[in-house]
Copies of this chain bind each other. A is one copy, B any other.
């Protein structure tokens, strides 16, 4: 079975599995088995299990961040054309919508769950990779949001950005476990559009709140 796409199949399998059970929770054997490849294939194609994860991260989070930056560019262009500052809600949407939409499109909570899990992973090299990948988008958003919340000093702004990130990651990865457990399933939070609009409303008000 000499197939040129073994590497792709490995990547795809690893994405699904890492998202479902985290980096440590998945063995190379499970990945290669799902991909229909030999055990040695991961190390042959990617060098190591960790490199495989980093490569996946760079690809997909990079895509996500490119979407975010594109939406921001568009926003700022419109704002400049109208000579008005962009709306806070629109800025938040630029940050949140790509992640939530991905959550919808992929038919699963793969990337958010994986990201959220990795944010809690104490392996230094993974944390470092995450920070490196996220830094440009975070800096850009910080710059755009700062003039929209002139009543907040840098500490407040950073704290609230952290809350935004936490709310997003948790709601996308936890899914509706809390809601389902609390209401015995009578209330579900599995509509991405609803989650997105609630998230925007919640965080926009949070950023507008006085210090």
Interface residues in chain A, defined as those with a beta carbon under 8 Å from any beta carbon in chain B: 20-22, 24-25, 113, 116-117, 119-122, 127, 131, 135, 138-139, 142, 154-156, 158-171, 173-174, 176-179, 181-183, 187, 189, 194-195, 198-199, 201-211
- Chain B residues with CB under 8 Å of A211's CB are 201
Asked, given contacts A120-B120, A187-B154, whether A131 binds B181 with beta carbons under 8 Å apart, the answer is yes
Within the assembled complex, what's the spacing in Å between the Cα atoms of A181 and B205? 26
**Do A158 and B178 touch across chains, with their CB atoms under 8 A apart?**
yes
**Do A122 and B25 touch across chains, with their CB atoms under 8 A apart?**
yes
Residue in contact with A189 in the complex, picked from B162, B176, B201, CB distance below 8 Å: B162
**Do A195 and B159 touch across chains, with their CB atoms under 8 A apart?**
yes
Within the assembled complex, what's the spacing in Å between the Cα atoms of A171 and B176? 20
Query: Can you list 22 A-B contacts with CB-CB less than 8 angstroms, sorted by A residue number?
Result: A113-B120, A120-B120, A131-B177, A131-B181, A135-B182, A138-B182, A142-B182, A154-B187, A155-B187, A158-B183, A159-B189, A160-B202, A162-B174, A162-B179, A166-B170, A167-B170, A170-B170, A201-B206, A201-B210, A202-B206, A204-B209, A205-B209
Cβ distance A92 to chain B, nearest Cβ, rounded Å = 12
**Do A158 and B142 touch across chains, with their CB atoms under 8 A apart?**
no
Residue in contact with A162 in the complex, picked from B116, B170, B201, CB distance below 8 Å: B170
- Chain B residues with CB under 8 Å of A195's CB are 159
- Chain B residues with CB under 8 Å of A201's CB are 206, 209-211
Within the assembled complex, what's the spacing in Å between the Cα atoms of A122 and B174? 11
CB nearest to A172 among chain B residues:
B166
**Do A202 and B25 touch across chains, with their CB atoms under 8 A apart?**
no
